[in-house]
Structure 1
């Protein structure tokens, strides 16, 4: 009778698996000692009691500086990595994702998903086109994925840029009500994806949209003499994140801090440098 040789047991892989398991067990307490973080995708909370006490940073160019003394960071979701948002969240920073909802650039990663029929005249940004915000069925899937990118990278809020095309020459016959409906739909879409919605500029519609949005972002309300129109947000205990590109903080901070805004001065390049107004 022929005796078959006995199979060798794969000891090394088993030992590696056991070693990995032991290492995992040893690492669990270390993670348990770290401060508890808001999980990615959870909507950012904006306590009304803190509405006048935020410091913020808006950075879209240059090397991201996570050590900036600010509670809130407004960032580009494509350029910002998940590792960077994780570091900021470990510092207990609130993160806002900049989403262009009313325009598309030819170099946007998802540009090909916007049909030509919804692309209009040249937009504010270089090499961009306004979008027909009346075409909700065509725009919603793409914008929803832009929001999901923000959530997946650890942002808890979205700021809607170019949400005021009705006031520009877009190539479409957009009116005030078309824009109002579009912006409200976007706020609802953001909330359905566990994101806190914020409105950028669109000053003429701020009063009508204040109940729909959690915060406002404004550029140059002092230079344009529009700051009083942002009061529907600050009076409701909602943050107003404001920036000026000209003038001195010694001149405009008195006005904006008095209104309850979180104000800074920055260069238009929106790099890491900033001059914040003092807290009240």
Structure 2
């Protein structure tokens, strides 16, 4: 038996702006519309500076006129209430409501949160064996620490709504939750039955190029009367080792070939063993860029025709890019792939003024984190529910993605990259590639190898679609990334004193030790600008962003202490022969602040 509680509808209007490291973005277009239609220019986004339409998402949300998700049935917890048994949130079905005129649905998802509570539903806490994947948590394996307590499940449906007539940077997230608390307490594990555990929060694919892995297991299911439980593990034919108290084991470096992890759980009642086998394969080699366009692939050079770092603007916080003209003109525009049309890309490349090129080139910004306001966001077709992990740095509209599930995520990557190619972009910037730093960030305990395996496919796909690729942040993997990419975007390296290889030389994390520029694993961005290739004889381009929000680099003309002077920033980052295109932005990247070295341009 259980008690049912319905949480009132909550309505929030959200703009996803990161205070630093890549402010993001905005609402996508109609869910039912294909990415191909978006690329073809079906929508012509309005400028953020345009007058607000009569009925905005914000106005609807403020008035409480956006209906919440609709459910049928009664939520119940089905299954045996016993340590180690599986219970299920059952009885409810959800659908999106009819929306007011002027609004459209972009994504819909149902998530689950499990808790255990003292008798009467008091003193609730996160259930013992909760996972990092709420959209895949309809089933719950009852944890040992839940014994003697009642279970509570909250089922939450979330809809994301955007304007239908005038695309904008606004979206509204509407949720409805139903909660059920059991009246039956969890029974103890059967006395005399051997204890068990299970792998949790994902495993590597059966074939992967990652040469190291983490595995997580649940707390052992056991009866306390059968004595203390021991957890041990072994990798391949190695010796048995005690499981760390975190219940996260690391395989160490692995050779190409078959591998197996075993975890044994034992007490006086006996023992059980779980196993997982997989195969490490060779990493895919970097693929050359191949384009059927006239002129072929475009490679951003380190230096422009005047011998200076090629100028760049980053406007992923705008619906329509702001053109820089005259002395403010730039050669590269980095803009949001979902908020741009083919017509806009064509206009930039054929009619806009550039600094040194005939016309500017364009970079398609894509985020590798999951964002619920994107066209392809509904868990299922493009993003498996089991691949959506912890919330991205406090932004509930965004979640980390399990890069280990490469095969399942390939359709998403292929479609997104294909969208950029269809719109005529010259290059692609992939953001949020550093989910291994630290490993617990995502909930999946990813390794550098997991990230490399995923990115090797993604960057090669970009090249196969006739565009060049840009690396993003993540200095510990940058020397590897340089082999697969044609340039880089880096944030706040001046603030963190981590722009150049010499600044990071000797530091070590995740089995990677940074060397000087001419060593095996340099971790600075001068590793790109000094990488001379046939296509980039002056080196690979690097764009560096500092933010006014950090309060460190001062605006041009202001008198500030030492290193904070804008001119000092430019001398340090832009002026050296191996320097970068350095710009001071606001973190929302909406084009309003653009202080670029060596000029002094502001507030357009």
- Assess same fold via TM > 0.5: yes
* Matching of residue 44 in structure 1 with residue 298 in structure 2: yes
Q: How does 1:1-280 map to 2 (within 5 A)?
A: 39=293, 43-47=297-301, 50=304, 52-62=308-318, 63-68=320-325, 69-90=329-350, 91=352, 92-101=359-368, 103-112=369-378, 113-124=382-393, 126=395, 127-168=397-438, 169-228=441-500, 229-236=524-531, 237-246=539-548, 247-248=553-554, 249-257=566-574, 258=576, 259-272=578-591, 273-278=593-598
- 1:73–1:94 contact (8 Å) kept in structure 2: yes
> How far apart are residue 176 of structure 1 and its match?
1.2
Aligned residues: 241
- 1:42–1:156 contact (8 Å) kept in structure 2: no
> How far apart are residue 82 of structure 1 and its match?
1.9
Q: Secondary structure at the match of 1:122?
A: strand
User: Residues 43 and 198 (structure 1 numbering): CA distance in 2 closer, same or farther, change over 3 Å?
Assistant: same
Distance 2:347 2:449 in 1: 41
What runs of 5+ residues in structure 2 fail to find an aligned partner? 1-291, 353-358, 501-523, 532-538, 555-565, 600-604
- 2:302–2:542 contact (8 Å) kept in structure 1: no
> How far apart are residue 81 of structure 1 and its match?
2.1
Distance 2:580 2:377 in 1: 35
Deviates most, 220-229 or 58-67: 58-67
Partner of 2:185: none
Q: Secondary structure at the match of 2:334?
A: strand
Cα deviations across residues 33-85 of structure 1 (Å, max 9, x unaligned)?
xxxxx959953223465384300000023442123410000000111222221
Larger radius of gyration: 2
- 1:96–1:159 contact (8 Å) kept in structure 2: yes
Q: Secondary structure at the match of 1:95?
A: strand
Distance 2:393 2:295 in 1: 30
What runs of 5+ residues in structure 1 fail to find an aligned partner? 1-37
User: Residues 268 and 129 (structure 1 numbering): CA distance in 2 closer, same or farther, change over 3 Å?
Assistant: same
Distance 1:96 1:234 in 2: 18
User: Residues 133 and 109 (structure 1 numbering): CA distance in 2 closer, same or farther, change over 3 Å?
Assistant: same
TM-score normalised by structure 2 residue count: 0.38
Greater RCO (Cα-Cα under 8 Å, separation 6 or more): 1
Distance 1:200 1:158 in 2: 11
> How far apart are residue 136 of structure 1 and its match?
0.7
- 1:41–1:156 contact (8 Å) kept in structure 2: no
Deviates most, 45-54 or 78-87: 45-54
Alignment RMSD, CA only?
Answer: 2.1
> How far apart are residue 87 of structure 1 and its match?
1.1
Q: Secondary structure at the match of 1:270?
A: coil
TM-score normalised by structure 1 residue count: 0.80
